[in-house]
Chains A and B, each alone.
Chain A
Amino acid sequence: MSGTRTLAITPGRVTALKGLAMLLVAILALILPLIAPDPATTGMAVFTVMYVGLASAWNIMGGYTGYISLGHAAFFGFGAYSFGLMINHLNMAPGYLPFVLVPVAGLLTAALAVGIGWVALRTRAATFVIVTIAFMFMLQLLGENLVKLTGGGAGLALPYSHDWGGDFFNIPYYYAMLALAVLTIGVSWWIRRSKFGLGLLAIRDDEDKALAVGVPTRSFKLTAFVISAVLVGMIGAVYAYYVTYLYPQFAFDPLIGISMVLMAFLGGLGTVSGPVIGALLLEPAQMEFAYRFGASRLYLVFYAAVFLIVILLLPRGIVPSVADLVHSWRRRRQAGPTAGGSRNAPVSAGEEPPATAQQRLASP
């Protein structure tokens, strides 16, 4: 299989290229605060890395199982509020110590996700989408109405460290977000390779058939839902600590919920790298636009336009489309008559050589 011609794109070389690109991105992400220490850049970096994590976490449910949740902002806001309430009630001094509350907020989010998932996953497809939206608004309403607990519309203030002044202020949050993003990508990658992930893909392709061949669909779906929610909740906790002030309509913002979906779609649904690429492209652009046109609400129009263009022109996302290009180029180079075969299988996963989840399940 290993072509030795100088320009041939072999699987080995693609992997090496991918590895090199990943290494570059990782190094860049690690040293970014050193290259560009000004607060404007690092502030933008905090949110960009936050969305890398959010989109990747959403993808574990939405991309792998095909269950589109538009209500993941519920977990984001819940994680944020549970972190804020914990830090306030424990009278914790701001600094590095409160970061230990982030996993705790994740655990609380897990409990919520089990409850919501148990109800929402009784439904499929369109109804599931609606139910997740409804749950998000339900939590937003709780945030507004439980005034004694959350402060309601007046907001919830969190302590912040006065030691982290000036250029340094964003740095701890940046690395916290980065750590969570790396964790999320790692989890996503691990799931994609595991038998569990294979089961999730089978559910996406045909849930009833998956059940018939022995995939425990109910528990798999719930597990994926909870994992995805926990990661989103932990990111929400760091967000709360970063912005230091929580309002129900901003913590449970439908735009946050839809942004992670759009980023995953833009990059490529159900791939590991897709949501990362989508977030890296979209979030800086969106922030720039909101900054320039925020007052006139025109940034919403921009957002809508990007959204429509992505879905109508690139319904499968960047990564699968590029992967297709590479594959067809390679096939043309090899020019073998045997190269056709199952290439036309409508798999939207893209990063891997084709074979539907069912085929792969059949041959372990």
Chain B
Amino acid sequence: MTLVIEAAVLGVLTGGVYALMASGLTLIFGVMRIINVGHGALVVLGAYLSFALFRSLHMDPFLSLVVTMPVMFALGVVLQLVFIRPLKTDREALSVLVTYALALGIEGVLGYVFTTNFVELRAWYETASFEVFGFHITWVYVFGFALCLTILGALFLMLYRTSFGGAIRATMLNRTAAQLIGVDVDRVAAIAFGIGVATAAAGGVVFGITNAFNPGSHYDLISRLLTIIVLGGLGSLRGAVIAALIMLVSEDITQVLISPVWANFVFFVILVVILIVRPQGLYGVRVRDRI
């Protein structure tokens, strides 16, 4: 039983990281109606940027976010301007292919620069742990969870308390109507994409400390992230956060109760069940032509 509780706690802590990565993905979908299949690759890219800073300047991975997040934000804006904006027709389908291509390109470049050997971000809190009620918890999970809470909190504040956040939400609700009331939707889209990519960088750091990764790691990541946002309901931030927690907790509990090799499988089982019961996801709305 203690093992199950420990697994659940760990699930919540890692769930926070996935919540952060998935919220960037679902934000991008909500604003632009595109699925960023390259999100996993961008997470891995963020991890590699921190890895490079650590290797050359011995910069602490969390501290390196001060550098990598703005860089990734700029990258996101550029990617949106160059590759997403030119898509005029059949955007949803084409964007999947374009972002898939971006993922392949990023994987190829990373493989060329860093080789395909697995690496890991290192810091003292990677292995050091503390004890609460007899449970051992490694510091990195706590730090990672705190970081994700902070960024998610900032994201929600920005969305619900600022006028720019209002513009984003208006664009998510109805692009044309937002345009009519004077929202510069193109600018909103570019910035939202940048924000999504910047959160990928933050997620990448925590992912990189808790997992060994290589340029090909993005396949596994993106399949999980996509499952999470479908479960939560495409475009719903709240849904993404809750879905991430559900997924990771059930994964970690399966790992303890059944076997580690089947832990991943739970993701897909939950997805299939949800699709049969509620195809629009937990917080999704069923709209004609959208689901």
Contacts and interface: CB of A to CB of B under 8 A. Distances in A.
B274 to A, nearest CB: 10
Contacts of A258: 97, 100, 104
Contacts of A300: 104-105, 107-108, 111
A133 B279 CA distance: 16
B195 to A, nearest CB: 20
Interface residues of B, number: 51
B93 interface: yes
B218 to A, nearest CB: 10
A208 B289 contact: yes
A265 B271 contact: no
What are the 5 tightest A-B residue pairs by CB atom distance, in nearest-first order? Answer: A300-B108, A297-B111, A304-B105, A307-B101, A301-B108
Contacts of B212: none
Given A129-B93, A141-B264, 12 more contacts: A70-B37, A133-B37, A137-B223, A145-B265, A258-B97, A258-B100, A262-B97, A304-B102, A304-B104, A307-B104, A312-B87, A315-B87
A338 to B, nearest CB: 28
B219 interface: yes
B123 to A, nearest CB: 28
Interface stretch (B42-50, B140-148, B162-170, B226-234): B226-234
B268 A138 contact: yes
Nearest to B265: A141
B131 interface: no
B268 A141 contact: yes
Contacts of B230: 127, 130-131, 134
Contacts of B222: 133
Given A296-B112, A297-B116, A124 B101 contact: no
A70 to B, nearest CB: 7
B98 A308 contact: yes
Interface in B212-243: 215, 219-220, 222-223, 226-227, 229-230, 234
A255 B104 CA distance: 9
Contact of B271 (A131, A261, A296, A308): A131
Interface in B271-286: 271-272, 275-276, 279
A297 B89 contact: no
B291 interface: yes
B97 A122 contact: no
B93 A122 contact: no
Given A126-B33, A301-B108, A119 B289 contact: no
B29 to A, nearest CB: 7
B118 interface: no
- Band of interface residues on A: 35 or more
Contact of B96 (A68, A120, A346): A68
A303 interface: yes
Interface string B180-224: 000000000000000000000000000000000001000110110
B177 interface: no
Contacts of A307: 97-98, 100-101, 104
B37 to A, nearest CB: 8
Contacts of B265: 138, 141-142, 145
A134 B35 contact: no
Contacts of B267: 134
A208 B291 CA distance: 13
B279 A311 contact: no
A135 B116 CA distance: 26
A254 B264 contact: no
A125 B35 CA distance: 10
A66 B91 CA distance: 12
B100 to A, nearest CB: 6
B108 A123 contact: no
Contacts of B262: 145
B172 to A, nearest CB: 14
A83 B91 CA distance: 38
Interface string A292-333: 000011111111110110011001000000000000000000
Contacts of B83: 308, 312
Nearest to B103: A304
A284 B291 CA distance: 38
Contacts of B74: none
A131 B288 contact: no
B100 A122 contact: no
Nearest to B222: A133
A307 B276 CA distance: 34
A121 B267 CA distance: 19
B275 A131 contact: yes
Contacts of B86: 312
A308 B99 CA distance: 9
Contact of B112 (A124, A145, A298): A298
30 contacts: A66-B93, A119-B272, A120-B275, A122-B276, A123-B275, A125-B290, A126-B96, A129-B35, A129-B96, A137-B219, A137-B268, A138-B268, A145-B261, A145-B265, A208-B288, A208-B289, A297-B111, A297-B215, A298-B112, A299-B108, A300-B105, A300-B108, A303-B101, A304-B102, A307-B104, A308-B83, A311-B87, A311-B98, A312-B83, A312-B98
B67 interface: no
Interface in A279-297: 296-297
